């Protein structure tokens, strides 16, 4: 296993996709990048091919993808985010409860529908 060796991922969500070895971490794991996400993988989860590409250790993703394109591999174009665009956050339960209509009150200010708040009982003071 050397840097620049083209491999096929055979396990996980990136299975069947081509990548290149960017760094050899130890005897069991390597860092790959290409059609897959850049990640550390176990060598049991990749299949080595006879092809190699000319890259250096820890090259950027753009350089690795360009080298794989020249070797004949195709890539899907990633959609670019618009500047200032943020991912929408899920609505929390608290904000959903706050948006629910509150019971209406009658002309005297008393709430209708549900019982009003508990009356505060005054305790006699001890003197």
List of the chain residues with pLDDT < 70: 77-88, 91-127
Give domain status of residue 33, yes or no.
yes
Give domain status of residue 114, yes or no.
no
Q: Which residues contact 58 (CB under 8 A, 6 or more apart)?
A: 22, 23, 31
The pLDDT tens digits for 48-61 are 999 999 998 888 88
- pTM score, whole prediction: 0.59
Give domain status of residue 10, yes or no.
yes
Q: Which residues contact 110 (CB under 8 A, 6 or more apart)?
A: 116
Nearest Cα to Cα of residue 47 among 76, 23, 14 = 14
User: Structural domain of residue 36, as residue ranges?
Assistant: 5-70
Instruction: Give residue 81's pLDDT.
Output: 62
Q: Which CATH number do you get for residue 38? A: 2.30.30.30
**The total number of structural domains that make up the chain:** 1
Give domain status of residue 30, yes or no.
yes
pLDDT above 90 coverage of the chain, percent: 33
């Amino acid at each position: 296993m050397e840097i620049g060796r083209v491999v096929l991922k055979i396990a996980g969500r990136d299975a069947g996709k081509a990548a290149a070895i960017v760094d050899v971490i130890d005897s069991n794991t390597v860092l790959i990048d290409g059609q897959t996400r850049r990640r550390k993988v176990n060598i049991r989860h990749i299949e080595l091919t006879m092809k190699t590409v000319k890259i250096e250790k820890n090259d950027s993703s753009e350089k690795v993808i360009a080298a794989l394109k020249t070797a004949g591999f195709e890539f899907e174009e990633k959609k670019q985010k618009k500047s200032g665009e943020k991912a929408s956050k899920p609505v929390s339960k608290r904000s959903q409860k706050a948006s629910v209509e509150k019971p209406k009150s009658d002309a005297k200010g008393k709430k209708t529908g549900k019982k009003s708040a508990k009356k505060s009982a005054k305790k006699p003071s001890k003197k």
